[in-house]
Amino acid sequence: MRIDNATALVTGAASGLGAATAARLAAEGTRVIGLDLPKGVESAPAIENVRYVAADVTNPSDVAVALDAVRETGRPLRLVVNCAGIAPAVRILSSRGVHDLNVFRRTIEVNLVGTFNVLRLAAEIIADQDPDEDGQRGVIVNTASVAAYEGQIGQAAYAASKGGVVSLTIAAARDLARSGIRVNTIAPGIVATPMLTSLGEEVGASLAKSVPFPARLARPEEYADLVSMIVAHDYLNGETIRMDAALRMAPQ
């Protein structure tokens, strides 16, 4: 599918994977509506062809406002990329006590419910658009994690939320097939996002040693590359792709 004369909706667009994806798509001629929380939008980089909208992905009204911005571009919505997420680190039992249920609930709410909220509302718009010559109306790319398969100590909430995104993928792809919408998911390994690099070079170097090959952290731009490949590959549907350089996470 070609999206150079279309609109893309990217969540978590103010930094990390979302920012790299928004920049890549905009450079290729796609009009991008970037969603993020108000604080993120305030500090988001100014990029030509990217318009930021303050929104909480778990809030249907916020997402509806962002979709109104999509309509204002005058271009069809052909791509949705769900990058918004949180990653708390809490053991089920620790010296601090039992895992806070609200932390678990909030993680599921943002990572899984938020992804589904954006997916369902965007799909409604995409399904009403004219298809291209191959019958395609759009592509949705979600973000999981290798933690969905090998959750580490302290990742019970995060792993559960990302496992839900993986399971959602094939069901959503089958549901939306008759509307000409493909659904795929990327499960990144360790990516050099601003949050991770802020921990310092020593931490990054230690994490890189656990990666088989290439023995380094992934770059956010490589996630964006994979999004572009998924869009272009019309026969790729209902799949979760690990982007992890053969990494299999140890317990900790």
Q: Determine the structural domain holding residue 12 and report its residue range.
A: 7-189+218-243
Residue 130: inside a domain: yes
Residue 108: inside a domain: yes
Both ends of the chain: CA-CA distance in Å?
40
User: Which tens digit of pLDDT belongs to each residue from 132-179?
Assistant: 999 999 999 999 999 999 999 999 999 999 999 999 999 999 999 999
- Please list the active-site residues: 158
Residue 248: inside a domain: no
Number of structural domains found in the chain:
1
Residue 63: inside a domain: yes
**pLDDT score of 192:** 86
Residue 70: inside a domain: yes
Residue 200: inside a domain: no
CATH number at 107 reads 3.40.50.720
User: Which tens digit of pLDDT belongs to each residue from 169-212?
Assistant: 999 999 999 999 999 999 999 998 876 766 567 766 778 888 99
Across 95-233, the runs of DSSP E, i.e. the strands, are 97-98, 138-143, 181-188
Residue 168: inside a domain: yes
Q: Does residue 227 sit in helix, strand or coil?
A: helix
Residue 20: inside a domain: yes
Question: Among the residues of 13-133, which ranges form H helices?
Answer: 16-27, 38-43, 60-72, 101-108, 114-127
Name the region of 74 (left: φ>0; alpha: ψ -120 to 50; beta: rest). Answer: left
User: Which tens digit of pLDDT belongs to each residue from 39-60?
Assistant: 999 999 999 999 999 999 999 9
